[in-house]
Structure 1
Amino acid sequence: MRHRTVVGVLLVIESDSEVLLGRRTGSTFGEGWWHLPAGHLESDESAIACARREAKEELGMNLTDADLGLVHVLHHRDPDEARLHLFFRVSKWRGTIINAEPHRCSELRWFPLSRLPEQTIPYTAQALHAIGRGESFGVGGWQA
């Protein structure tokens, strides 16, 4: 049987050795936990177009393709399905970052990569630590 995978696109926005995380709210997944700005790839868009769309929808950011670079891929299995997470570093942006979806994100905050909050979504923390070590690929949630 051919395998189907959900593709998540996540934004790694760094400034002064800190990463931007949002506290999830109004969701059945990760309520109250910290997570990167993210979304799911839609059938009619490329991964880079998805990253630009999510940046605009969640943070009010207008990005170009050149502002984004793929830094990590995580093949992750949660209890319900397999996911392929694509982590894009945002190298530059113009304007002010805003919380454009307060119904999904109760707050935005900068955290040092070395001191992520205890309630960071586990696969997000795994990927950010891997990115800090320069690792471009990881797996998680699969049985050995």
Structure 2
Amino acid sequence: MTERRRFRMSSTVFIVLRQGDMFCSLRRVATGWMDGHFSIPAGAVEEGESLLAAALREAQEEVGVVIEVADLRHAHTLHCRTRGEGWVGHFFVAERWQGTPMLGEPEKHSDLHWTSFQALPEPFVPYVRNALLGIAAGETYSEYGYNTHFLRLLRPELG
């Protein structure tokens, strides 16, 4: 019997620090990827790390806040393809945390401000924009960068 080999895909966590209709956004700089675009606190899941642990770590690293596990709610999963590779994004929402959000990694972010779901600043990382709009609409799954022909059959509004 041959060993079963599974396809492996990297995961990224995204943290939506939410206050009513507003959330914390960051402008990317000097990263080599989407510099100048707005996004939200996020980062790769490290080897041996759970999604929740990664989200808590990234929130503290990027914006200096401490979130309790009980205050994180999984809100959206994004299956994304960028730079020719597929990966999965897990979006968590927190409405409570300790500390005041600040630029925790000023070498990667030049601006932190509160943004409305109805008035996202430009330019915004496109796949993060799509996921945030999905979260605002109550959608728990989206895809970006894949052929979505089959989705258009189910949801014609996707165009």
Per the normalisation by structure 1, the TM-score is 0.95
The correspondence for 2:98, drawn from 94, 99, 112, is 94
Task: Tell me the equivalent position of 1:5.
Answer: 9
The correspondence for 1:128, drawn from 128, 132, 136, is 132
Deviation, structure 1 residue 118: 2.1
Question: C-alpha root-mean-square deviation of aligned residues, in Å?
Answer: 1.2
CA deviation profile, 1:57-86 (whole Å, cap 9, x unmatched): 111111111111100001011132001000
Deviation, structure 1 residue 33: 0.4
Deviation, structure 1 residue 48: 0.2
Whole-Å separation in 2 of the counterparts to 1:121 and 1:34: 6
Letter in 2 for 1:74: L
- Counting matched residue pairs gives 144
State the SS of the aligned residue for 2:105. Answer: coil
Whole-Å separation in 1 of the counterparts to 2:20 and 2:7: 40
Whole-Å separation in 1 of the counterparts to 2:48 and 2:75: 23
State the SS of the aligned residue for 2:60. Answer: helix
**Identical columns (%):** 35
| Match status 1:139 vs 2:143 | yes
Task: Tell me the equivalent position of 2:64.
Answer: 60
Larger Rg over CA atoms:
2
CA deviation profile, 1:88-127 (whole Å, cap 9, x unmatched): 0012012211111100000101111011012000001000
Deviation, structure 1 residue 27: 0.7
State the SS of the aligned residue for 1:48. Answer: helix
Task: Tell me the equivalent position of 2:155.
Answer: none
After the TM superposition, list the runs of 4 or more consecutive aligned residues in structure 1 that deviate by more than 3 angstroms.
none
Within 5 Å, give how 1:1-144 maps onto structure 2: 2-143=6-147, 144=149
Whole-Å separation in 2 of the counterparts to 1:81 and 1:30: 16
Unaligned runs of 5+ in 1: none
Task: Tell me the equivalent position of 2:156.
Answer: none
Where relative contact order (Cα < 8 A, 6+ residues apart) is larger, the structure is 1
Unaligned runs of 5+ in 2: 150-159
